[in-house]
Amino acid sequence: MKRRLFLQGASGALLAAPVLTSLRSPSRASAPPRARRSVLFHSPCGCLTNRWFPRVDDGTLDAAALAGTTLEVLTPHLDKLLVPRGLRAINQYARPQTIDPHRQAMGSKLTCALLEESADNYPVSHSLDHEIARQVNPDGRAPLVLSPSNTGAVVYQTLSYSAPLTPLAPSSDPVAIYAELIGVSAPEAEYRLRRRESVIDAVREDLESYQRLDMSRSDQQRIDAWLELLRATEQGLEGAACDPRLVALDADTVAAASQGDTLAQAFTERADVLMQLMALTLACDVNRSLVLSFPGFVVFDWDGIHHSYDHDGLAHRSGSSSAGPCVDGVLDMLWEIDRWYAGKFAKLVQLLDTLPEGDGSLLDNTALVWLQEFSDGSALNLNNMPIVIAGSCGGYLKQGVAVNLEETPAEPGNSDGNCGEGSDGMVHLDTGSTSGNVPINKLYVTLLNALGCQAPDGGPVQSFGQFDGFVAEEGIVDPGELEGLKA
């Protein structure tokens, strides 16, 4: 439709409607009950566990608890952090399946299900993000699943499954996400981005010409009301469109983030723009189930990090997936990567916490969860998982604490013992961690209830996934929430 016809049609309809001003009344603009959201932030290849975990296993987090750790960058947000200790992800290699460590860890991460023993090895159930989206998303729309780099839908890079054997490949195109937010097609979004236009800009000439016509004061007021309605719509007050300026995002940045084709650009500029678009998506209540997953097998060569080996090879300590001698300085390189991901997570925490919502911030009504592929990337273990949650999800979750969910003391593991000072210079698989065996299913159940999801009978969710132990045929043997995480 031409802009003039759009203007005339929209203006005429509004001019003919004397109740126009009701669209701007407090009753129509009043905020609905605060939506609760889930954001899953996922990083590959595990971490140096003894440097990652806080120095407090169970109790209040303070600056000293994070000092010198990977999480130190999160110190400004201490009062909004929850660190659950003692969790184990499902389907570690040979426990129960023996397919491939990466395929099992990724395919089962959000599904807690077995993988089909075929070429694709996709899981036989849907993933957590889709369960959340189905229950709490406006119109039941699919979750927003993103990655800074196009990884396709191979199982060892994929977290999201809409149904058994049905992967959802992540989007890495900021323009496409922007287009959905402002309610236009991707080509139209690109046009507006190039022109640096908002919806109002697109009809401004026609509007100004129309306003110069000889009309009554009441008609002029109706035109003003129409313009204000457009502004409100663009700001998301009517749920149809969002203004990127809400998150300090401009047209040039969105366009540039979609055009770069290097890993350095993807992990820096594009990742940051994706996080801004995620914040905008949440603020405008377009989607309440989001996933941001970073691909593995990449060589870090940005933000002051300059490596010659890919992340997976460094995680194995040998520079490749094969056993052998330790790469010189490998632990320092891994810690650079760990802290880089912590910095990215902190940036997203900060962004959500600066967006006001009610008496608090958008973060306060969100559960922003940092999950990892493995605990330690050399041992490829799924016990003692490094997990941190920012935001209380509307007051449902504890804040400012670490919580040991096991009766035994939490173990940080000994990642530094593998290729560290005093080692024999060869790669070993023992990271010194045997605790941390509470099934991650229980964390997912807790999150589902925090978001207001229900079991099929209408009661609280009691279980998620296909199995929660080492024998899949036993199914879920430990249902229920993690009461220790609830406020």
Backbone angles phi, psi at 273, to 5 degrees: -65, -40
- The answer to whether residue 192 scores a pLDDT higher than 70 is no
- The answer to whether residue 199 scores a pLDDT higher than 60 is no
Tell me what pLDDT residue 229 has.
59
- The answer to whether residue 184 scores a pLDDT higher than 80 is no
- 8 occurs within a structural domain: no
Q: How far is CA 360 from CA 79, 80, 126, 235, 366, in A?
A: 13, 12, 33, 19, 11
- 225 occurs within a structural domain: no
For residues 275 and 380, give the distance between their C-alpha atoms in angstroms, rounded to a whole number: 28
Confidence band, pLDDT 50/70/90 cuts, at residue 168: very high
Confidence band, pLDDT 50/70/90 cuts, at residue 187: low
Question: Under DSSP, is residue 435 helix (H, G, I), strand (E, B) or coil?
Answer: coil
Confidence band, pLDDT 50/70/90 cuts, at residue 250: confident
Which residues have C-beta within 8 Å of that of residue 480, sequence separation ≥ 6?
A: 442, 445, 462, 463
- 182 occurs within a structural domain: yes
Structure tokens at 346: 């902190």
For residues 316 and 338, give the distance between their C-alpha atoms in angstroms, rounded to a whole number: 14
For residues 466 and 124, give the distance between their C-alpha atoms in angstroms, rounded to a whole number: 9
Confidence band, pLDDT 50/70/90 cuts, at residue 10: very low
**Which tens digits make up the pLDDT trace of 367-414?**
999 999 999 999 999 999 999 999 999 999 999 999 999 999 999 999
Q: Which is more confidently placed, 175 or 305?
A: 305
Question: Under DSSP, is residue 64 helix (H, G, I), strand (E, B) or coil?
Answer: helix
- 221 occurs within a structural domain: no
Q: Which is more confidently placed, 417 or 442?
A: 442
Q: How many domains does the chain have?
A: 1
**Which tens digits make up the pLDDT trace of 91-115?**
999 999 999 999 999 999 999 999 9
Confidence band, pLDDT 50/70/90 cuts, at residue 27: very low
Q: Which is more confidently placed, 87 or 244?
A: 87
- 282 occurs within a structural domain: yes
Question: Under DSSP, is residue 144 helix (H, G, I), strand (E, B) or coil?
Answer: strand
Find the helix or strand (DSSP H, E) in which 448 lies. helix 441-450
- SS3 labels along 9-51: HHHHHHHCCHHHHHHHCHHHHCCCCCCCEEEEEEECCCCCHHH
- 120 occurs within a structural domain: yes
Confidence band, pLDDT 50/70/90 cuts, at residue 302: very high
- 344 occurs within a structural domain: yes
Region of residue 106 (left: phi > 0; alpha: psi -120 to 50; beta: else): alpha
Show the domain range for 181: 37-197+244-485
Tell me what pLDDT residue 420 has.
87
- 218 occurs within a structural domain: no
- pTM of the shown model: 0.85
